[in-house]
Amino acid sequence: MALPPPDPQFVLRGTSAAVHTLHFSCGGPEPDIPLLFSGSENGFIHVWNLKTHRVDTALDGHGRKSVYCVETMGSKDRLLSQGRDQRICLWDLAEGRTSVTDSVSTEHVGFCRCSLLKVAQGRWLMAMAARSLEEVQILELPSKTSVCTLKPEVGAKLGMPMCLKLWQLNCGSQPVLLAGYEDGSVVLWSVSMGKVLSQLICHQEPVMSLDFDSEKAKGISGSSEKVLSIWSLNEQQNLQVYKTHELVNAGISDITIRPDKKILATAGWDHRIRIFGWKKLKPLAVLDYHTATVHCVSFSDHSNPQERLLAAGSKDQRISVWSIYAQT
């Protein structure tokens, strides 16, 4: 007899706007408070204290335009946020400061979240959708120099890039970019050469979100249709479809694989969060708490596995935090 799905461990209220992005920063040693960063539609970034479940700080740096991506760069004091004001802001939050140290103007009018990858100590690569409709630009941070621009061939008709993921197999290897496009295809780009390594049509509708497991060379993408597509990367750097999974309701906003690569979570337009096992995509749980479409899901980076959490932000302005499968 299967147990009913668990309730959220707690719910964070107070953003007063739909929540579009979440990012945990809980990896620090003991005196550090575990934090959750959330970006909302009203332009604020809230820094939640996970011990008191209250907002510690509210950052206003995007002119009240929706913030749709937040990431930390190395530590919880360095934050990167991307908003609909066509800017990416770099924050310095050390010692209670709340200032924007730098910003990059993207001139991108879409919703494509940028992707960060640490390549060396203090050096980052960031992939972001650029001004021209089909292009992706790779910048090096903090110098903000352009590494390359990835432009699809003329007539490829991929549409806008919808989601990006920069990764490298291990510290020394060449970084590559996985990009999901509006026409439903996922493209693997080589950053150093600036050209396409492989392209795979995964969906009939735009790819809404994707995530990749570099150890197993397997990735998953979700779209506005009812199908989740799992694809793999073989030795020749070619993408192939591994399997597909049909959902009950159409529409996925976000997919994320837990750092231990055991489970993954999807945020659905049907207000539900679904948990699957990553190995064989076995459906594990359907978390039905929110009353509007769930925009984002994120796993925490706690060093103690028992404390691991899953957070989901929704259009109903609430962030639900769950502790699920934390024992394994």
Partner 1 sequence: CFIPGGLDCSISFVSHVLGKVCIHGRQKEILGVLVPRLADLTKSDCIWQRICWRLVECVPDRWMEAVVLGFVQRAPGADVLSRLLGNLVVKNKKAQFVVTQKILLLQYGHTTAVLQNLLGYLSLDGLRRTLLLRVLQELLETWSSSSAVKHSPAEQQLYISKAILICLSHLKEPEIESCRQELLTSMMEGMKCHLDSSLPQLRHLGMVVAESISLKINTEGPVLKFEYEEDDETRELKSLLVQTPSYYVVPSLPDDDGSEKAGAALPLVPESNEKSHTAAPVMPDEESDAELDSDDDLIPYDMSEDKELKIKAPVYIRDCIEVLTGSRSEDVDKWEATVKALESLVRKNPAATREVSVELAKILLHLEEKTCIEGFVELRQRAQVAVLTTDPIPVAKYLTSQFYSLNYSLRQRMDILDVLVLAAQELSCPKFHGKTKHSSAQKPCIQLLLGSDSSKDWRRIVDERIKSKTRRFDMGQSRVELASRPNKFSSVAGYFFFPLIQHFDRPLTTFDLLGEDHLVLGRLVHTLAILMYLAVNTVVVTAMGKALLEFVWALRFHTDSYVRQGLLSCISSLLLSVPTEQILADMTEELLETQSWLGDVMEKDPDGDCRRLALQNLLLMENLKKKLEAVP
- What residues make contact with partner 1 under the rule CB under 8 A? 2-6, 152-157, 185, 196-202, 229, 232, 238, 240-244, 248-249, 262-263, 270-272, 277-280, 282-286, 288, 325, 328
- Closest distance between partner 1 and the C-beta of residue 3, in Å? 5
CA angle 17-324-321, nearest 5°?
Answer: 20
- Closest distance between partner 1 and the C-beta of residue 227, in Å? 10
Element (H, E) at 23: strand 19-25
- Closest distance between partner 1 and the C-beta of residue 198, in Å? 6
Which position has the token pair 């735009």? 206
Nearest to 315 by CA among 48, 86, 66, 114: 66
Nearer of residues 17 and 80 to partner 1, judged by Cβ: 17
- Closest distance between partner 1 and the C-beta of residue 4, in Å? 5
Q: How far apart are the first and last CA of the chain?
A: 20
- Closest distance between partner 1 and the C-beta of residue 213, in Å? 14
Nearer of residues 146 and 291 to partner 1, judged by Cβ: 291
Helices (H), 60-130: none
Nearer of residues 124 and 212 to partner 1, judged by Cβ: 212
Nearer of residues 6 and 74 to partner 1, judged by Cβ: 6
Nearer of residues 47 and 233 to partner 1, judged by Cβ: 233
Helix, strand or coil, per DSSP, at residue 96: helix
Is 316 buried (19+), middle (13-18) or exposed (0-12) by CB count in 10 A? middle
The amino acid present at 147, given as its one-letter code, is V
Classify 68 in phi/psi space as left (phi over 0), alpha (psi -120 to 50) or beta. Answer: alpha
Is 236 buried (19+), middle (13-18) or exposed (0-12) by CB count in 10 A? exposed
- Closest distance between partner 1 and the C-beta of residue 11, in Å? 19
- Closest distance between partner 1 and the C-beta of residue 156, in Å? 4
Nearer of residues 79 and 208 to partner 1, judged by Cβ: 208
Task: Kindly calculate the radius of gyration of the chain based on its CA atoms and give it in whole angstroms.
Answer: 19
Which position has the token pair 């950053």? 191
Nearer of residues 34 and 268 to partner 1, judged by Cβ: 268
